[in-house]
Structure 1
Amino acid sequence: MSELVVVGGGIVGVATCYYASMHGSRATLIERDEIASHASGFAFGGLHPRVENPVHSQMNDFAIASFDEHQRLDQLLRNNDCATSTWRMNESVALARDEQEATLMREACSKPSSHASWVDATELNKLEPRLCGTIPGGALTTQSAEVNAKHLTTAMYELANPTLISKEVVGCTLKQDKLVGVTLDDGTSIEGDCFVFAMGPWTSTALQWFGLAPAISPLKGQILRLRMAAAPFLHSFSIAGNYMSSKPDDLVWGGTTEESTGFDETTTPKAAQEIRTVLNHMTDALKNSEVELQTACLRPISADGNLILGAVPNYPNAYIASGGGRKGILYGPLMGKHIADQLANPTLAKAWEAFTPARFVPD
């Protein structure tokens, strides 16, 4: 019997294993595919800590704490001689689509609490002359970074060294107020003391096993990796939630779409054209670029847009960790750390109790 069983080999599940290992616990990790084979392997990896969620202020706090944890994690990986540490600070500019949006963004930048500064069209041209001249300006922030999500997840996995079971979890065994085991697709059962379900959008199934509402759905996003015959961009740029950024692999990553297509992870020509259209609104430099790779992945979106993080009601040895959405890579390490810390010291459960799965107990 394992002390800790983690279901899901993405960044959240692997981070749980990694931080648990720092508490002296070696986890059993169950992943039906490969480590970081879904969203954690294809995500853009942008780390922008400000989310400005007016409904749930703790999401703002969690985003900032997550950014700080990424910096700490990067140092931990470097101290362990992890060549795959890919953290890099990268100034980003949110571009205004028109004068009306420029006015709103300029006003937002002028507020004392703003983390961004307004740059007009002239200043923007100095930052990047290849941007389209019709863009009236943008909000520049220096508190942003990028990571290679796949490499980061793999580095944590190698350091955690969990026992890997390459199977699919299809059910669980509940006895009174305790989860005693999970059932694999070959009919065998894995028993444990504590269980963490970090299955991305597939966590909706686990929620139902515990009588909770299936409050997570998949949001499909597609990205183009483009080869540009010119110098790389020195900043990351976004417009209306879409972005472009030059990566260390010498490719420009552009995206992303938002599609409600169930659990379909296939790429489509339609999405590629949509991404191209948005990129052409930002710059002419990518019009003749070649597509090296088009990817698609599913991000877990909760019913209320906030994380689902913590112990399952009535089953205190079972935990849910999902719902990061488009910022899953930003949130992932801290989500795993919170669960691992909570397992080592239950009094820490109150730290982010607003994200409790209990809010999805059916009426």
Structure 2
Amino acid sequence: MQLMNVVDSSSCKYTNNRHTSKRCQRCKTLKQASKIQVKIYECPMPLEHESALVIIFELQMTIEITCYRDTIWQFINRPKPQPESRMHEWLTVSPYDSKLKPFYTGPSNRKVKLVSSTKSITQTHYSTPPSIVSTPAKDFLFENSLKIQISPIKPLEFEDECRILTPQLDHPDYKQLQFTINTTQFIQNHVIVQLSNYSPSLKPAQLVEFDSFRSGHRLQWWNLLSIFEMDSLSFAEESVAILIIHSILQYGPLISGSSTLSNSWCPESHQHLLEDHFIDELISRLDRHLDDCDLNWQNELVLVVITMITMRVLTICNATRVDNVVNLAIKCRKIGEKWIDLISKSIQTISPSALDEVEKLRLKIVNVGVSCILTFSTDQDRISLLL
């Protein structure tokens, strides 16, 4: 600016035909000034106080909050955890990358990022620096031009959400029965008509029992009680375990008018767990099955299923039945601990070269260990009873 002050305060003393910039101080200074390039300055912080605090928070966010938000964000965006976006990231856009990045303390692979739907002034208007000869000083200074946003989300439709949260049957004998898990509608007649199309390794009675388990959301727990009584399905089979676990954990279906129930906090499909006589019958059968499989660690899925049923009951049942359910949960844990010890001893008797067999037994230990951990899976009011 001092050079331009010299130019403005002087005049050219030569005519055009005799002019040489080497002799003319004004023209020499003007030529020198025109060669100077000064980049514009775009303020890295927003003008509004609240917006500036947001930037500071994003730059200095604690790792706990970062991980929590990244996890929630990825869950919402499944099955595409990194959706395409045309947003501009603050820490990679010029000139913010050089001014803000030194203050960033978060991980480099952060999922939720500070972005803007608009470009910076530097990107849009000044690919080449303006000339100081023709540009006033105020035109070199700009306020922050980026908008404050975070990585966008693309939530799933409700139907897609249900499909993703519904487990899939992979076993060839049960794969055709996937539709029975997807709904609680009565489809038994449809299954009976199609019996000849299913796997011959499954008996017709097994097919009907499997397919009718979820026929009517109000009947699922009664159907479970019947299975325990009749031993009509094997809990050692993975597909059966998936069917039962999905049924007892699923909240829905949502029924209009369910708010009129005496215990509206409990979904209609699980109202039976508030009936003491039903709990007594169910606990009795679960306890009997535990006794039957006390030493049969080969079928570890049986323990997993019984444990998950027990903990689901403990979460919902009335206080009058809590002690009985807690005793059953502790019994599940003790059996799991015993099984882990038995499987570990069995591994020691196997030849080290039998890697496949050892790996199968280790997987059983993992499954049994999960069932032990599940015995602590209940609400805060009742967890103390399990310690």
Task: State if a TM-score over 0.5 links the two structures.
Answer: no
Question: Which protein is richer in helix relative to its size?
Answer: 2
Larger Rg: 2
Q: Which has the higher contact order (CA 8 A, sep 6+)?
A: 1
TM-score bracket, shorter-length normalisation? under 0.3
Q: Normalising to structure 1: TM-score of the pair?
A: 0.24
